[in-house]
Structures are given as C-alpha cells and as structure tokens.
Amino acid sequence: MPIEVTKDTQLGRAIAPLANAHPGESGVLLLPDAHDAFAARAVLAKGAEASLDVQYYIWQYDITGTLLLDALYKAAERGVRVRLLLDDNGISGLDDALAALNTHPNFEVRLFNPFVVRSPKWIGYITSFQRLNHRMHNKSFTADNQAAVIGGRNVADEYFGAGQGALFADLDVLAIGPVVQNLSTDFDRYWSSASAYPASTILGKPDEKDLARIVETAKACSTSTEAGEYVCAIKESVFLQKLLDRDLDFTWAPVTMVSDDPAKVLGKKPKNGLLAQQMAAAMGNPQHSLTLVSPYFIPTKTGVEMFRDLERKGVRVRVLTNSLEANDVAMVHAGYAKYRKPLLEAGVQLFELRKLSANTVEKDLQSSLMGSSSSSLHAKTFAIDGESLFVGSFNFDPRSVHINTELGFVIESPELTQAMEDHFEEQVRVTAYEVVLDEDGDLQWIERNGEEEIRHSHDPGTGLIKRMLVSVFSFLPIEGLL
C-alpha cells in the first residue's frame, strides 16, 4: 500500500503551495536531455524522505544502472521505503544484486512475469512462450508520492548518453500535482498484481557478502573516469534545490494518466483497461493535425486506413520513426517497411531519423525533443491539433497495443504541444530523411544538408545484405508479435 501521508516531507512542503495555486492541474517539465533525465531520477532518490516507487522494463548493471541502484540503496539506509518492480526480461546480470538488496529491511524487490529458469532465460520461451511473450513495458520513478518521472527511458547507459555506445533520443516528463497520486495508485495495482512476484521466491538466496559487494561496486563505479560526468551531474545539479525553492519552470495543465491493466499480460482485456482506449478517449479525434514520433512504428492495415481517413478529412499527418540505419531492431523495421508506400499514397508525410554523430548537427538543436546528436530514436510522443500531447512508453505497433503493458501521460497544454510540433518541423529537416514517392511510384529518401539536397533510391547508409534480410523478414507472418 502507498504511504499516504507525505505532505510533511520536504518535497510535499515544496509542492503543496504550487499545486494549491493550480487546482485540477498538474505541473509538468519535459526532460529531452539525457543528463537532465538521469539527474532528475538521482536527485529525487536523494531528496525522498518517505518512499520511492520505481518501475522499469529494462535495468542494466552498467554505469547509470549501478549509480541509480546505489541511490536507491542509500535512500533505504536513510529509512526510506523503496519498492523496485522490474520486468524480468530486461535485468541481465542483476540477480545476485537484486537478491541482496531485497534482504534490506527498507528495500523490497518484485519481478514481473518472471522466468523460472534463470540461465539461460531463453529456455523459458520454449515451454512458456504464451505467458513470457507479454512484458511490462512501463517506466516510472516516484518519490514520496509527490514527484515522478515517466516516459520512454529505461535504466541503461544508452538512454542517458553514458559510455561509448549508441545514444537513444528519448523523452521523459517530470510531474508534480494530482497526476502523481494517480501514478502511485497505478504502481500499487501493478505491485499487488498476480504477475508481480517477490524476488525471494524467484532468485537464489544471497551470500552474506553480496550486499557489501554492491556497495563496493557502486563505489568503484563512482570513481571511474567513465562515470565522472554523471557523479558530477548529481553533485552539481540544482534541480532538487530549485524544486524545493519552487523555482522550476513547470507548465501547469490538466494531465491524464493512461495505463494498461496488468491483467493484460494474462491475456485478459478488462473493460476500459487498455491504454489505447484510454488514450483515444482522453485525446479525442484529430481535426487539423497529428504529429507522431515512434521508434518502432508498425501501423498495420488498420492504422494505414485510419491515417487515410484523417487525410481525407483534411487532417495533416506527420510521422517520424527510425531509418533502417538507425533502427536497433531490424525485424521491427521489416514490419514497418512494407507500409511505407501505402502510408505515402494515403497522404502521410513520412520522416526517418538518420544515424548522426554529435558533431553532425548544430549545438543549439542538441537538447531538443528528438535528441539531434543521437544515433537511434526511442522517444514515444504525439501531438493532436496543437492542443494535447502524449508522452510515455507506448509505441505505435501491435506489441504495445495488444501484448505489453504501457504507461503514459496525456497533457492538455497548447504551449507544450506547440513546442513539440515546432521542434519536429525544425529537426526533421536537419536530422531525418524525408521519404517520398517519385514519378514512377518508387520510394526515395531525401537527405538535406543545409542548402544541399541528396536523393537516395534505397535505404541510406545500409548494405545490400541488410536490405535483403529486411525484405525477407517482411514476408514472415510475425506482425502480431512485433
């Protein structure tokens, strides 16, 4: 159960006057910058006094994952009740650490839809595919039931720009006000669901020294060169102090939390229990424009017809997704590629993010909503009619609609919606290919570099073998699993 009385925490005392001044509205702050998104989570953990409720699909034991686990552990040491709910599909290498943390009196870990065989986990798909194919894709980080971060980012270095690997362009939201209470209630629903298992029933019994090893691992990580900028980001961040001083520039607006019922992973479809239904009800039908950003975009025939109908009604539809060179899941790209021509014939404006280095684009674009210095798109957001904006974990694909559970906010703010649409317009010219049909009805990719315009006749930046594999994959009857 949630800890109800948190108004007297430092976060509660800071937020109450702001919330009282905006009855019925929640304060939201977009977090497109990877370092800001990391710092927001770390300092919320540092500032919590009563509870931390944390829910993720992926949590890696890398630089950022280690530092955030350490922040949760230190909170538990201060007497904060920590509840960590993780989908069991994305926690490779964490079993011993989680088992040890679960022995702390203030730290409880639960695993969602767990694998019985711990290593190798893939064996579970042979015997229990129907169950294990459903995953909890939700991502949230809530402190004292007063402030929360939700969005597209998992906890791993590629989501926060750490290390030398790929950086995912992503988008989170920091929220305060009544929507956080709704989020806390939703967390409890997942925490107590039939698919959430106490870690002690799944993981092996920890060694007495495992907890000490976690502390030593975090200490070693925090002193490493690779982690230096993140340790500094926490130490130098004025985010918490600005929040306590009521000095953060929140946008206040009606915000609706939308979330799948956790029973979805059991194959059940409770009435009004699906995020897609709730989102449609909250956002209404587009009348003028729909701007959609989705890294894994598989519209299906139904989606293509929906977009075609919107275009016939005069609604401008624009979509940004990953190009083949930027997509980290080629199989998913195959599910999307076969719909490019039908989408364009329906009148949709289609853009694909290029794989770019940090030096490729102008610095003043590098903190925008699409993450211009990134090598792969991971943000999931869309805007309707310049009035309402969705941010969350939902991809526009069959897996998000029918298989996984998802979470997000619908924000009724013309200010933020217009900002998203303006950034979209600005960025697709610099960081994306525009996909069009030529006079013969064949696909072309337009690459713009300043005044220069280059036209490609096949997926840019890719080899023949990769393109052939995608073509083969596109014929396989697996769309419903993507």
- 144 flagged as catalytic: yes
The token duo for 159 is 């989501």
Burial class (CB in 10 A: 0-12, 13-18, 19+), 119: exposed
Only one residue has tokens 């275009």, namely 311
> How far is Cα 155 from Cα 153, in angstroms, rounded to an integer?
7
Read off the tokens for 218. Answer: 């975090």
Per the listing, tokens 């029918």 go with 402
333, 380, 397, 459: which is the annotated catalytic residue? 380
Concerning whether 121 is annotated as a catalytic residue, the answer is: no
**Residues 401, 404, 410, 415: is their CA dihedral positive or negative?**
negative
DSSP string spanning 125-141? HHHHHHHHT--B---EE
Q: What separation in angstroms does the CA of 305 have from each of 334, 342, 343?
A: 19, 9, 9
Examine the residue annotation and report whether 104 is marked as an active-site residue of this protein.
no
Which residue is associated with the tokens 């967390």?
187
Catalytic site residue from 170, 378, 423, 459: 378
Using alpha carbons, select from 447, 435, 42 the residue that is nearest to residue 218. 42
137 annotated active-site: yes
| DSSP per position, 39-102 | HHHHHHHHH-SSEEEEEEEEB-SSHHHHHHHHHHHHHHHTT-EEEEEEEEEE-TT-HHHHHHHT
The answer to whether 294 and 322 have CB atoms below 8 angstroms apart is: no
Give the phi and the psi of residue 149 in degrees, each rounded to 5. Answer: -120, 125
For the question of residue 33 being annotated catalytic, the response is no
Supply 11's token pair.
Answer: 């976060």
Identified catalytic residue from 95, 260, 385, 397? 385
Tell me which of 87, 144, 172, 186 is the catalytic residue.
144
Q: Is 402 a catalytic residue?
A: no
Q: Which candidate in 33, 95, 137, 172 is catalytic?
A: 137
Report the catalytic residues. 137, 139, 144, 378, 380, 385
